[in-house]
């Protein structure tokens, strides 16, 4: 990522634009110097009948969403909400610039986008920041992902069961926690995500709850959750994980082989399944096979978190890239 060039005028311009955008989202009554910030988490809410409003979320409890719209507080069934759309605030913008998650050059380029208003340009910057965080995830830098996303989801996380523009980000944070071994935070995030109205997001939450159960040696719970998944590839992957945890690497390898044979086009579970096979080879003291498998995964699935993990394993095992001549 390009190192930002510090420029006081540029910083002032960015801050002024963001402040201007923020001011446009509040009512005239709130837009006074002395007005205290409205409580809650700001978002754009779209109801199931298509109506849209700017509100502040207050809580989600027992399937009911409470929010403030102006001076009014309302509680409605969460299933009456079609979606939420979260935006970046000034403090988050400053945080990501200071952390070099996005460079000043990237910001300048996006601010120069023609025929867009300030709010639209800031939305482009927000999306670019999330893309840069995803790149860190795909390189296997899960500590960086957690550092970047925890502040963003600290207040928004409890609303991730409702369809919104940060659900994929919430999944990324959950899986980063798992890769770092923070199972308590995985469980907290997965419990919310498994209740999502988006079936794919819900499945990822449930799969992570199953993987926690495997890590805890709670195989009965893991099997129950595995049976509730709709994806056959996911079921087989979890079956292989259970077998590995039970000390049955040969049977687990056979299950992974079944995934490869029957679900070769499943880009959700194939990379992780093939990476799992590398670890299973290590469990059987077949280091050369593990090295070769790690090499294949990092090359075939380049640009994914599985490839990033495979690259780290390949390096840990002392893997050496084949030259073109040797490969021939």
Q: For residue 54, what are the β-bridge partners?
A: 44
Domain boundaries, the chain: 156-230, 246-328
> In this predicted model, what pLDDT tens digit does every residue of 95-153 receive, in sequence order?
999 999 999 999 999 989 999 999 999 999 999 999 999 999 999 999 999 999 999 99
- Please name the CATH architecture into which domain 246-328 falls: Alpha Horseshoe (1.25)
| pLDDT of amino acid 320 | 80
d(CA 263, CA 257): 10
Residues whose CB is less than 8 angstroms from the CB of residue 85 and which lie 6 or more positions away in sequence, other chains included: 43, 44, 46, 164, 165
Q: Which residues of the chain have pLDDT under 70?
A: 1-38, 322-328
The answer to whether 294 touches 306, Cβ cutoff 8 Å, is no
Nearest to 281, CA basis, from 224, 222, 226, 240: 240
Q: Quickly count: other Cβ atoms within 10 Å of residue 143's Cβ.
A: 12
| pLDDT of amino acid 313 | 96
Length of the chain: 328
| pLDDT of amino acid 29 | 39
d(CA 66, CA 267): 38
**How would DSSP label each residue in 57-103?**
EEEEETTEEEEEETTEEEEEEGGGEEEEE----HHHHHHHHHTTSS-
| pLDDT of amino acid 33 | 39
- Kindly report the CA angle at 55 between 50 and 57, in degrees rounded to 5? 110
- Cα–Cα distances in angstroms (integers) from residue 179 to residues 65, 145, 239, 252, in the given order: 32, 11, 19, 20
d(CA 321, CA 304): 19
Task: Give the global pTM.
Answer: 0.85
């Amino acid at each position: 990522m390009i190192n930002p060039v510090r420029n006081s005028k540029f910083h002032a311009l960015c801050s002024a634009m963001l402040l201007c955008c923020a001011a446009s989202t509040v009512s005239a009554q709130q837009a006074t110097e002395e007005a205290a910030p409205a409580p809650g988490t700001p978002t754009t809410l779209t109801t199931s009948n298509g109506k849209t409003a700017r509100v502040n979320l207050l809580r989600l409890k027992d399937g009911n969403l409470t929010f403030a719209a102006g001076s009014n507080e309302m509680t409605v069934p969460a299933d009456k909400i079609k979606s939420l759309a979260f935006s970046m605030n000034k403090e988050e913008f400053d945080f990501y610039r200071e952390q070099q998650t996005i460079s000043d050059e990237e910001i300048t380029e996006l601010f120069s986008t023609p025929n867009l208003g300030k709010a639209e340009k800031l939305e482009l910057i927000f999306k670019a920041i999330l893309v840069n965080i995803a790149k860190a995830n795909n390189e296997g830098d899960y500590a960086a992902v957690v550092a970047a996303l925890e502040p963003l989801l600290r207040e928004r996380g409890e609303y991730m069961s409702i369809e919104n523009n940060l659900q994929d980000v919430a999944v990324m944070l959950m899986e980063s926690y798992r890769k770092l071994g923070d199972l308590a935070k995985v469980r907290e995030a997965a419990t919310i995500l498994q209740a999502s109205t988006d079936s794919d997001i819900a499945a990822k939450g449930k799969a992570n709850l199953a993987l926690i159960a495997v890590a805890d040696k709670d195989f009965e719970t893991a099997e129950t959750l595995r049976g509730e998944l709709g994806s056959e590839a996911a079921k087989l992957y979890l079956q292989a994980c259970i077998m590995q945890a039970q000390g049955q690497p040969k049977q687990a390898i056979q299950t992974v082989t079944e995934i490869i044979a029957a679900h070769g086009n499943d880009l959700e579970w194939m990379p992780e399944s093939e990476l799992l096979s590398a670890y299973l080879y290590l469990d059987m003291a077949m280091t050369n096979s593990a090295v070769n498998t790690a090499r294949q995964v990092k090359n075939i699935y380049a640009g994914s978190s599985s490839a990033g993990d495979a690259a780290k394993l390949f390096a840990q095992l002392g893997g050496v890239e084949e030259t073109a001549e040797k490969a021939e």
